[in-house]
Amino acid sequence: MTTRVALITGGARGIGRGIALDLAAQQWSVAICYRTSAEDARQTTHAIEERGGRALAIHCDVSEPHAAKALVAQVEQTWGHIDALINGAGPYHRVNLFEETPQGWEEMFTNNLHPIFYLAQAVAPSMRERKFGRIISFGMANADKMEAQPYVTAHYIAKVGILILTRTLAKMLASDGITVNAISPGFIDSGSAPPGELDGMVSKIPAGFLGDIQDVVSTVRYLLSDDARYVTGANLHLSGGWGM
């Protein structure tokens, strides 16, 4: 049986790292893409190998189209193919819309939306040839409501764009055995927020508690499985009822 191969952007820490370690435990080969911390990437690749998976860490800025294409090519040359693309990278900042800079506005689209387009274009040919593939991206739990967002405007618009791109890719790739889905988290305690920052949000969550990395991991595991072979173009809310 051919070993499954995943490419995870933002895979060196947080949610991406959690997904990488879960796949490693299932003996996947996991390539993680990172942009900032080489030490985080080194520790994650070591943890992947400890759990029984093959690991590859690649420094890459996937907001640059040629770099994104080269990243996919490197993984395919190393392991022959890519079964799953998981778009985990997606920074944001909070700033009043009228205080936002042109650079800050551009960065939200450049780093959240554009890489998914570049990477999908790059992985699709091989997935189509093999008649199998999984593409998963991350939205935002209330993005499908298209509400006013005075402090995360560009980030929010980018997340709405991800949902449209997900459905478009799903429709275009379904006949090739490729599923394309989005996961839209609410408040997830992934370790990236300062201690205590998320505590005040609990009262706003109908379920009464924060999500954690394992909640995301379990959802990804389902979407990658054969149980989800007929699920495509979906936007799975992972929010405990927040954002409905």
Nearest to 89 by CA among 188, 158, 9, 6: 9
Quote the CA–CA distance of 19 and 7 in Å, as a whole number: 11
Reported residue count of the chain is: 244
Residues with a known catalytic role: 156
Q: Measured between alpha carbons, how far is residue 145 from residues 80, 86, 94, 142, 181 in Å?
A: 40, 24, 19, 5, 18
Cα 127 to its chain centre, rounded Å, is 18
Could you tell me the CA-to-CA distances from 11 to 101, 129, 137, 146 in Å, in that order?
28, 26, 13, 28
Nearest to 239, CA basis, from 222, 225, 219: 219
| Tokens 């995943």, residue located | 6
Q: How far is CA 227 from the centre of its chain?
A: 20
Q: Give the Cα separation of 236 and 139 in Å (integer).
A: 9
Distance of CA 173 to the CA centre of its chain: 18
Question: Beta-carbon neighbour count of residue 214 at 10 Å?
Answer: 10
